[in-house]
Each structure stands twice: as structure tokens, then as C-alpha cells.
Amino acid sequence: MITLGLLEKNTFLEAVNKKSGTNVLECYQCGKCVSTCPVSGYMDFPPREIMQMIKLGLKEECYMANSMWFCLTCSACSGRCPREIDVPAVMEAIRHLAIEENYRSENKKVKDIRKFHDIFLDMIKRYGRNYELRMMAEFNIRTRNLFKDMHLAPKALLKGKIPIGHESTKSAKAIQKMYKLAEKLEKDMK
Amino acid sequence: MNKLTYFPGCSAHGTSEEFDHTLKLVMQTLDVQMEEIPDWNCCGATSAHVMTENLALALPMRNLVLAERLENKTMGIACASCYSRMKGTKKHLDENPELARRINTTVIDEGEYKGTIDIKSMLQYCYEEIGLETIKSKVTKSLSGLKVACYYGCLLTRPKDITLFDSPEYPMSMDLLMEALGAKAMEFDFKTECCGASFSISNTEVVESLSGKILEVAKESGAHLIVVACPLCQSNLDMRQPDIEKHTGRKFDLPVMYFTQLMALAFGYPEKELKLPKHIVSVEAALKHIGEAIPEPEKVKKIKKAVEAESEVE
Ligand code: SF4
Ligand code: SF4
């Protein structure tokens, strides 16, 4: 539903432009990004449509879409965009705004992807570094899918592909402090 | 002797140990002394930038500040994902001093960020700093007969204003490097297509689809194996290959090796140094092609004949 009156200010567009450092209005809807994007087929709205939705101020529709969660930041689209729009930066801006404004999609894939990133960040906070096997195991536990990839595990472990143990780094303490300060900074900025 | 500050990235001590190990061997041969950043941390790649703005910059910034304390000012990064994050962060910070100052408040104990480090991927370092001629001069066992498909993935050459390296569409640096080792780099159109990268765990369906296409095109190129420069690409193409084969019903049998493994081999290191048993798709059969003669393709023969015939007419 388009609710934008002609004289209404498009604050969503402004917010996205500011965060992404790119001007979405420059997009002339050629669709080159869509044909370039390796995951546009999985997106609720491919990049070109997202651009138009931003121009129309369709904030909630953008926030609830899976598009920005599926974007791999591969920069294939922006490299080919004739208007030199930084599409992954736009995707990132929408994602960050959606997180800030507490929008949560109930889409199973989006939930999985978010959970993965939460675990990843948690892991860095705890150890200063990232340990792949632990992460895989935690992801499977937290998505209640214990046996996912289990067929890969024996072979990968046997071949020493994924080590079981992990080193504790000195950096862990510094990182915990950084997380706290970064959180504070985020609040101060608001 | 050249000095290089080294950022290995988390997977160097995990899934990509063979990359880290052979890289160190190769650098030894090339007379480069690598100094690992003491007490480095995860750069946050794949996740920090997805979820937060400040942490995404703060995590790489800490590594940059630690690196600035070392004498040498060039940093080499093994993993393409770390490379992209660190170099992207540096650009962002250098262009926005106010932002740099703000983020620096989360990295107070380590010191002030100055922006004095030059960042290169290890492929870029080999190509630009060491040079193909020097590399060629160290080859004691030519890889002639081996046909390879060089896969760069997204982040080594894109976005081009961050990487400032090679072509974002059809890069050639790794191809030329392989040719310097004696191998034959095949024409391969999916060089810079995305493998699904960070969805390796959270969205395997997408990884299998994207990596499957890359394997298919690499197979069609006639290559015996795929060469990569990134741990994520390696594990997506290698570890997921049996599943992709099962789900598509196609047999690829394409080993996926790091460019440094092939360099080490060509520099005369024994095979056991390559840590080949770590590969899920076995490498041995592909390496047997080394030393074989590669016949000229029919297409080329035809063209040559036509050109000759034409010049005779003239
Ligand atoms: S390629 Fe650029 S101009 Fe064309 S539709 Fe996509 S964002 Fe818009
Ligand atoms: S950066 Fe995102 S939107 Fe652009 S091509 Fe890659 S996955 Fe698609």
C-alpha cells in the first residue's frame, strides 16, 4: 500500500541515504543489479524493487523483507550499476535500521541467518577469535537441528579439517571491553 | 630480506591450516620474513557488519592499531574476507577522521589509530610486491601438464575502490601466477561469482546452488582442479562438494587447492608439506597430470591452419 502523499517528507529515504552514503534517488530502475545478483531469486524483493520501495517510503515492507538478510555483500551489483549506487550499503542500511527499530521477520531463513550472526558475535566476545566447529555445533543446537551437517563431521574431524579444541587468546579481555564501549557509543549516538 | 606484517585470520588455525602452513613455506623461499600481529583478534568478518556499525569498525581497528606499533608498514592478509573487512574499514576511517576518533574510544588501551598501514591480500602481495619473474626463478618443479581453474571469489577484487587490485570482472593475477609455475590456467567464466560465502552454515541451500554452478563451469573448462585464495571459498567448494554431487546427480571430482599449496609444490617442497589429507575431495589423481603434455586444442589448430592458408593466398 502506498501511503506517501506528494507533500509528505520521505524520512525513510533520508535515513537510508544518510546511513548508506549513497543516493537511492539516482536509481533509474534498469534492473542490472537484479540480473547480476546471485541471490536475487531468493529475495522477497530483488535490489531494483527495494530501491523503488525506498523511494516510495515503504519502510515496513522493506524492514520485513528477507532481501537485506540474503544479501551476501558480494558487490557484484554495485560494480555494474550504471548509476554507481552502492547497493550492498543500501541493503546494510535497511538491515541496521530494522534492527535499531526492532523489526523482526518471522521468516525461518531470516531467523536462522540472524541466529548465526548472533552466535558468531558471541563467540568473538567470549574468545576474541572464532572457532568454526563450536560455532557449527552451537548453531545446530540453537536452531534445534542437531543432525544438520552431522554426516560431514566425522570426515572433517578425521581429516583434521575442523579442530576440536580452541586456544584462549589474550585479546578476549580487550574485546569484552570493546563490546561494552561500543554499546555505550551506540547509545550515546542516539 | 623483505618484512611483512601478517594477519592470519581465525580460520588459519582451523579449517585453512594448510593455507597458513604453505604460505609460510613459500614466503621463506621468497625471502620474506613474516611477523604475526601479536595478540590479534577476529576482524568480525561475515557477521559484525551485518548486525552492528560500531563493532564492525572497532574489531578491525584494534588489529590495525596493533599493526601500526610494528616497524614494518605493509600488512599481508591470507583470508579474502578478513582482507575485505580490514581494508574497507581502513578506507572508511581514513576518509572520516571524526568517525575514526569516535571508534577509537572503544579501542583505548591499544593506542591511537594513525592509518599508516598498507593492506594487501597475499595474492596481491605475491603479484605486486614480489613479482612473477622472482616467483618463476624459484620454481624447481614445473607444474606443466596441470590444468587449473583460478577462482577469485568476490572479495579479492571487489569493490574495486577498496581493493584497488586487478579486474573486478575478469581478474588475471592468479592465472598468470599459475602460468609462472608452469601450470595451464583455463578460461573460466565464473572466476568472480559468489560461492555463497558466509551462508556456509546458516543457509546451506544457497551455498550448494551457487557453489554447484561454479563447480559445473570449472568442470566444463577442462581443469583438473580449482585454485583459490580464500578459506571460505575453499570450504564451500571442497567440503560441500559431495553434497552438491548428491543433490545434482553430477560428478565433479574437482579438488580445491590454495594457490600457496601449488607454489610450495613448484618450489620443490615435498608433497607431505601440502597437508593433502585435509582435503575432502582427494587431490592425488589431479596432481598426477603434472608432466603430461597438453595437446593443442582442436579449435586453436583450426584457426592456425586457416591463418596459414590465408597468408599463402596473399
Ligand atoms: S543497477 Fe543501479 S540503477 Fe539499475 S536498477 Fe539496480 S540500483 Fe537501480
Ligand atoms: S551485494 Fe547483495 S544485492 Fe548485490 S549482488 Fe551481491 S548479494 Fe546481490
Q: What is the pLDDT of residues A119-147, one digit of tens each?
A: 888 888 888 888 777 777 777 777 766 55
- Using a 10 angstrom Cβ sphere, with 0-12 exposed, 13-18 middle and 19 or more buried, the burial of residue B273 is middle
A61 part of a folded domain = yes
CA dist A15 and A45 (Å) reads 20
Q: Give yes or no for a contact between B273 and A190, defined as CB atoms under 8 angstroms apart.
A: no
Q: What is the pLDDT of residues A45-62, one digit of tens each?
A: 999 999 999 999 999 999
Quickly count: other Cβ atoms within 10 Å of residue A165's Cβ: 7
Strands B147-150 and B32-36: unpaired
Domain boundary among A100, A135, A167: A100
Domain containing residue A81? 11-100
Exposure class string for A63-101: b at 16+ Cβ within 10 A, else e? bebbbbbbbbbbbbbbbbbebebbbbbbbbbbbbbbbee
Quickly count: other Cβ atoms within 10 Å of residue B306's Cβ: 10
Q: What is the pLDDT of residues A162-185, one digit of tens each?
A: 554 555 567 888 999 999 999 899
C-alpha cell at B231: 578459506
Which of B53, B168, B278 is nearest residue A79 as measured by Cβ atoms? B168
The architecture that CATH gives domain B132-287 is 3-Layer(aba) Sandwich (3.40)
Please state which of the four CATH numbers 1.10.490.10, 1.20.1050.140, 2.120.10.30, 3.30.1130.10 is assigned to the domain occupying B2-123.
1.20.1050.140
Q: Kindly state the percentage of chain B with pLDDT values over 70.
A: 100
Under DSSP, is residue B232 helix (H, G, I), strand (E, B) or coil?
Answer: helix
Which of A76, A120, A175 is nearest residue B46 as measured by Cβ atoms? A120
Q: Is the same domain home to A85 and A161?
A: no
Q: How far is CA B130 from CA A61, A148, B127, in A?
A: 51, 44, 6
The answer, yes or no, to whether any atom of ligand 1 lies below 6 A from the CB of A31, is yes
Q: Is the same domain home to A160 and A176?
A: yes
Return the bridge partners of B148, or none.
B185, B225
Cα angle A109, A111, A115; round to 5: 115
A138 part of a folded domain = yes
Q: Quote the ligand 2 centre to A73 CA distance (angstroms).
A: 5
- Cell 581478474 appears where? B171
Residue nearest to atom 8 of ligand 2 (CA): A37
Q: Quote the ligand 1 centre to A76 CA distance (angstroms).
A: 12
Q: Give yes or no for a contact between A43 and A70, defined as CB atoms under 8 angstroms apart.
A: yes
Phi, psi torsion values for B256, nearest 5 degrees: -125, 110
Most A CBs within 10 Å, among B36, B42, B230, to test the A interface: B42
Q: Is the same domain home to A31 and A68?
A: yes
Residue nearest to atom 5 of ligand 2 (CA): A37
CA dist A178 and B59 (Å) reads 8
Q: Is the same domain home to A44 and A92?
A: yes
Yes or no, beta carbons of B280 and A132 under 8 Å apart:
no
Q: Give yes or no for a contact between A50 and A91, defined as CB atoms under 8 angstroms apart.
A: yes
**Which chain B residue's Cα is nearest to A163?**
B14
- Which ligand is closest to the CA of A30, given by its number? 1
Average pLDDT across each block of 10 residues of chain B; the chain has 314 residues. List them in order.
92 87 97 95 89 93 96 95 95 96 94 96 97 97 97 93 92 97 96 88 88 96 96 92 92 97 98 93 95 85 88 77
- Nearest CA to B7 out of B48, B53, B57, B66 is that of B66
Q: Show residues of chain B in contact with A148, CB under 8 Å.
A: 204
Domain boundary among A62, A80, A100: A100
**Which chain B residue's Cα is nearest to A154?**
B280
- Nearest CA to A86 out of A16, A156, A150 is that of A16
The answer, yes or no, to whether any atom of ligand 1 lies below 6 A from the CB of A85, is yes
Q: How high is the ipTM of this complex?
A: 0.88
Phi, psi torsion values for B215, nearest 5 degrees: -60, -40
Which of A78, A112, A170 is nearest residue B39 as measured by Cβ atoms? A170
Q: What is the pLDDT of residues B234-292, one digit of tens each?
A: 989 999 999 999 988 999 999 999 999 999 999 999 999 999 999 999 999 999 999 99
Q: Is the same domain home to A124 and A70?
A: no
Domain boundary among A100, A116, A142: A100
Number of domains within chain A: 2
Question: Residue A145's pLDDT is what?
Answer: 63
Yes or no, beta carbons of B197 and A74 under 8 Å apart:
yes
Q: Is the same domain home to A26 and A71?
A: yes
Query: What residues contact residue B83 under an 8 Å CB cut-off, 6+ apart?
Result: B77, B119, B121, B155, B156, B163
- pLDDT band, very low/low/confident/very high, at A3 (cuts 50, 70, 90): low
Quickly count: other Cβ atoms within 10 Å of residue A151's Cβ: 12
- Where are the domains positioned within chain B? 2-123, 132-287
Question: Domain of A68: which CATH number?
Answer: 1.10.1060.10
pTM of the predicted protein model: 0.90
A1 part of a folded domain = no
Q: Give yes or no for a contact between B304 and B310, defined as CB atoms under 8 angstroms apart.
A: no
Yes or no, beta carbons of B106 and A178 under 8 Å apart:
yes
Residue nearest to atom 2 of ligand 1 (CA): A81
A46 part of a folded domain = yes
Return the bridge partners of B279, or none.
none
A6 part of a folded domain = no
Residue nearest to atom 3 of ligand 2 (CA): A71
CA dist A123 and A143 (Å) reads 16
A42 part of a folded domain = yes
Please report, for chain B, how many H helices and E strands are present, in that order.
16, 8
- Nearest CA to B6 out of B58, B79, B93, B89 is that of B79
A140 part of a folded domain = yes
Q: Is the same domain home to A17 and A60?
A: yes
Q: Is the same domain home to A80 and A131?
A: no
Q: Give yes or no for a contact between B125 and B165, defined as CB atoms under 8 angstroms apart.
A: no
Exposure class string for B29-64: b at 16+ Cβ within 10 A, else e? bbebebeebeebbbbbbbbbbbbbbbbbbbbbbbbb
